[in-house]
Structure 1
Amino acid sequence: MKNIAALLVIGSLLISCGEAPEKKNDQNTDSNVKPQSSEPAKAAVSADYSSLLLNYECDMTAAEVAKIFNIPEADIKPIETNLPGRCDFEIQGFGKNALGGTAMRWGMAPFSKANSKKEIQSRLKDKENDENIFGMDIELSETGDCYITITPHVGRVNILNENYDGAFYFEYSQRGIYKRTEEQHAALTEKTIALANYLLKKHRK
């Protein structure tokens, strides 16, 4: 009987030792592991961007652009244009063609609130599902109330806000149009996003 009792005690200890780690692991799982959401950030209530999205007049100097792009002011040259609501500059250092450096332009574009909302939702869904192609992307602006869409394979960045019947675009052309390396094109995309954020902050009311 003593032997049987001893065996039962040893057996219960072995079972307890086997169960303890499982309970500890369960506790660690509950306290340390948190579900991670890949849902993109949502825009806050919008400020007033009427002067940018609806009534823009080119208000950028070569000095401002040079500071954002971190290049000498001598590498920025304004291009005369008769088109209202648009800026045109020739920028050196990001590739060139027979006509000169990169021709950049930005300004207003007609775009309905419904189309802005549709485009934002579509881009956010693609981002959440990791289905972006050709490097297309969307990100929340630094002001937190607009979206910036990036379409690098055609050299375009847009500012969208579903509260406005208007959008804002930046064009710097496809890489193949210029003698531009992949690294130069990526850098130009990043500088253009920085320019978009700069203008949003400048016109925010």
Structure 2
Amino acid sequence: MGSPRKLLGLLALLPALGGCAALSLPSSPEAVVDAYFAAVKDLDFERARQYVAEDARVGDLPSPWPQDVPVEPQVVWIEWEAGEALARLGEAQFARPEIALDGSTITGDAATVNYHITQRVPHPSEEDMADLTRALAAADPARYPEVIVDWYIDLLDAAEAVTRSYDGVARLIRVDGKWRIESTSVSLNDVLRNPDGG
């Protein structure tokens, strides 16, 4: 066992090491935007928020509930099968788009980062629709959400899916020496809600 003096020296280093871990956020605007979109694609909104300015409203992050809203209305009840299927659909949709950064401009404590979002948009054929009809006819009604989501996820990866591209820009500010996102346009939510709008 080491001397008490050595042990005290090691203990004194622990807070400093913790401080180093807290400073490990990306240091460039591009790295912040890249890390933000990686977190959003993983549906890890808590992780994504650490890259966003405190009062910013960014389209990919759900708004926090107002403090004065009672707890009961905050809860949305969905049957377990439907809720599970919708969660898988969300994961599948957010995981698939590809995001490529395309340069940045820094002016003082403000920056912009350009990016491109590419995604594949399903276009079901008559045969695809017939497949869905047959699958639903063979399934228990309680499994309809699961059947529909499975069918749609298969279409996301089908060769017939059409590729769409969208140009976007993220605006950032430097706060206490760290870059934080103020806005993104377009957001992944924009693209997924309106795939033919790009």
TM-score class normalised by the smaller sequence: under 0.3
Larger radius of gyration: 1
Which structure exhibits the higher relative contact order, with contacts defined as CA atoms closer than 8 Å and separated by 6 or more residues? 2
- TM-score, normalised to structure 1, is 0.25
Q: When you count helix as a share of all residues, which structure comes out higher?
A: 2
